[in-house]
A and B are shown apart, each in its own frame.
Chain A
Amino acid sequence: MKALNWRRWVNTFGPLLALLGVYGLFVLIAPPSFATVRNLETIARQTTIVGMAALGMTVIIIAGGIDLSVGSLVALSTVVIALLLQNAGTGPVISAAGGVAAAAFFGALSGLLITRLRVVPFIVTLGMMLVVRGTAKGLAREQTIAVDPGRLRWLEYLLRSVAGREQSWMLLPPGVWMWLILAVVMALFLRYTRLGRHSFAIGSNEQTARLCGVAVERVKVLVFTLGGVFAGLGGLMQFSRLTKGDPTVAVGLELDVIAAVVIGGGSLSGGEGSILGTIVGALIMTVIASGCTQMGLPNWVQEIITGAIIVAAVAVDRLRHRHIA
């Protein structure tokens, strides 16, 4: 009984401890500039794009799926937002919604293809990664789309540092707050709604879910649509940082997103994962990047360390499964 509680405790808070450990390590070895409040804000800002997309990916992975098209969806979203602002002349709210809707559409399409054609998510979204990337490039005529500064309005402040400005009472930029609030919403969604519980059931054992009358196909389509929505929101954050639409941005971002979920305890075999874990996973990666940069370590060192952490996290995941089985 004691062992079980201990294990559950580690499953829940293990990633959080790892985050504190990594942070503490860099506080000790990195220059003093690392341990400042200002740097904490920077870390949060740098995590938001991956972290936003990872909220949707968490649900997808819990339901036993995977989405490799996330990077392309982010790029598409920035292009659509820029096109709407610059060419259609719509306001920032409508433009942002349009970008998110475009990503959601392709997420739903992935879900439909997976359930109707009965092709595994890996393959469908691998194809979708190219389809969406191509669509984004086509829409943008293979160029970046600059937006007149006057049309941006609040869109340019989403991830801009609030330090030393009149919004400093917010502590963190509005985009980061948006991410954190949506994270809470998603955590509650997974725990307290039927759709959330059904996602866990499908990921844990699809046959059982079907036996129990769960509309497996419908749930999967919804889950992938949700994944698209969050990838689109990630695109909104990306747009805010770049203030232009760029169809070639965020190549390979899906791997960072998946890594965040997996480091946070999500199992690629489904049925396991948590929003808290995902957020921690995304933060761990940024903390490493930030720490290495401040220590003046070259980029390749960061990459090696991040890679090692991903493998270690999955190895831990396998070990846990062996315990359960």
Chain B
Amino acid sequence: MAERVERQQSALSLQMRGICKRFGATVALQDVSIRVDGGQVLALVGENGAGKSTLMKVLSGAVIPDAGQMYLSGAPYLPGNPLEARRAGVAMIYQELSLAPHLSVEENIVLGMEPAALGIVDWKQVRRRAVEAIKEFDNPELTPDAQVRRLSVGSQQLVEIARALAIGCRVLVLDEPTSSLTRQDVERLFEIIGRLKKQGKAIVYISHFIEEVKRVADRVTVLRDGQVVGSSDVDVISTNQIIALMVGRQVDDLYPRSVRRPGEVVLEIEDLAGLEKPESASLQLRRGEVLGIAGLVGAGRTELLRCLFGLESVRKGKIRLGVYAGAASPLKRWMQGAGILSEDRKQEGLALSLSLADNVTLSKLRGFGPFGLVLPSRQDEATGRWIERLGIRCLGPRDRVSSLSGGNQQRVAIARLLQHDVDVLLLDEPTRGIDVAAKAMIYRLIDELATGCPAEGRAPRAILMVSSYLPELMGVCDRVAVMCRGRLGPTHRIDEVDEHKLMLEATGQNERSAYSV
């Protein structure tokens, strides 16, 4: 029988003071302080990588800070793990829900704290608690014996919230709660947040969407590069001011940019739609240019690249790659001279248990021996050249990829595109999770590829690059388009936009202003 959290008499408040956290050489959080009181919604905003998720991991006990204190209703609060945090009354509702999909709503709500005597579950008690927990939500889909996997994502989220409330949590942290919800579910969620607030719960609301923040939150705290850059009541700060706080950063010359001469159109898509995302995307990519796609996580940018490469089904629209029209399989795309760099190195990009040589040459195991045979010595020879050229730190071409660091793994993944000698590169978050040295190398490489080298007979390539890091897009791209909720906006020349404008478009602000006109 799990203990219910004791109701403390003092007023509810959660404070984090001077939190610092480093991961190796990277400073993830530097002297961050936030405060949220009972009956209040605090919005935490910032770009991807600003430190929001690390901060929340500190709050939930998943990460132990290097310095700083936390207080819950005035008493020191130092959870060692997420379970301790829950016991103390702080619950996280993550983007990826942590429910048992095959169990019923009530079983999920009492999971791990089933009321029982002598190990025998007291189902009446279970039902009573579940009904009590979900009656607040007033949602017809949500019945105690409904199977969780049959519920909509929005209702599943409510089950998760109900579970937190059932054990008496009073501080709720919602991490990007609306990113996968329908419009209607979003409204319902906002209504529930309003009710929880009235009941005196303290809520931390993490979001990219400034419109939502303005609607649902009382206070907003902006994080950038691991620091709090501003904190204000929502009523007295404008959307523009919030965005200015989120991006205000200088682009330095980490990004080399040679003179680029865009040539013929090599990739053209028209009103492309996938099964779910993207909903509509049109663009033209020319040889010798870098076209960036900005947007928030979950906007459908990865799906766009995957549709282009034949990894996901296309519902409608036109694709033309070089002289080839229509959708195609990954094999055909490679043969047509396109290559893709996956955003997920470990799950998809690389076969970690195989050698560098096998990974680099996997897309084209031809030309490594007579009669179509693959001679390992020739694979090694080809791989050795890329190890040298890209500065991959490893024991040799036969080293397992799993033993390399993130930055070096990414170099291996890129070496595959270079070894295949593709004309059109689809790069999905090429610098995610890698060190600055590897980033700089990749920016340099992108510039070289886009520029080409006529003297050495290397033609310019065409590069389509998805990134969530705006400074990077501003630094390397010639043109950029923004994707928002599945729709790809118009392409802008890079000198016609700034980060602020892109962020407005990515958060759907331009849509709203269009309505208000």
Residues of A within 8 A of B (CB): 1, 4, 191-194, 196-198, 200-201, 204-205, 207-215, 271-272, 324-325
Contacts and interface: CB of A to CB of B under 8 A. Distances in A.
A213 B330 contact: yes
Contacts of A1: 395
A213 B349 contact: no
A210 B329 CA distance: 9
B351 A271 contact: yes
B352 A205 contact: yes
A201 B348 contact: no
A-B residue pairs, 8 tightest by C-beta: A213-B331, A204-B351, A212-B363, A205-B351, A213-B334, A207-B348, A212-B362, A213-B330
Contacts of B363: 212-213
Contact of A324 (B366, B372, B402): B402
Given A213-B330, A325-B402, A4 B395 contact: yes
B1 interface: no
Contact of A210 (B311, B332, B369): B311
Contacts of B342: 211
12 contacts: A193-B372, A198-B365, A204-B352, A204-B354, A210-B311, A210-B330, A211-B330, A212-B330, A212-B362, A213-B332, A271-B354, A324-B352
B350 interface: yes
Given A201-B351, A201-B354, A325-B402, A214 B362 contact: yes
B402 A197 contact: no
B400 A324 contact: yes
In this complex, the interface size class of chain B, counting residues with CB under 8 Å from chain A, is 35 or more
Interface stretch (B274-282, B293-301, B373-381): B373-381
A179 B181 CA distance: 59
A222 B350 CA distance: 23
Contact of A207 (B334, B347, B369): B347
State the majority secondary structure of interface residues on A. Answer: helix
Contacts of B374: 192-194, 196-197
B352 to A, nearest CB: 7
B331 A201 contact: no
Contacts of A212: 330, 334, 362-363, 416
A200 B358 CA distance: 9
Contacts of B349: 208, 211
A207 B347 CA distance: 7
B411 to A, nearest CB: 16
B495 to A, nearest CB: 34
A317 B284 CA distance: 50
B368 to A, nearest CB: 9
Given A194-B365, A205-B352, A213-B332, 13 more contacts: A200-B358, A207-B347, A207-B348, A208-B359, A210-B311, A211-B309, A212-B334, A212-B416, A213-B329, A214-B362, A271-B353, A324-B353, A324-B400
Contacts of B329: 213
A245 to B, nearest CB: 39
Contacts of B373: 192-193
A205 B350 contact: yes
A77 B358 CA distance: 37
Contacts of B354: 200-201, 204-205, 271
Given A193-B372, A197-B358, A197-B374, A208 B353 contact: no
A1 B393 CA distance: 13
Interface in B356-414: 358-359, 362-363, 365-366, 369, 372-376, 395, 399-400, 402-403
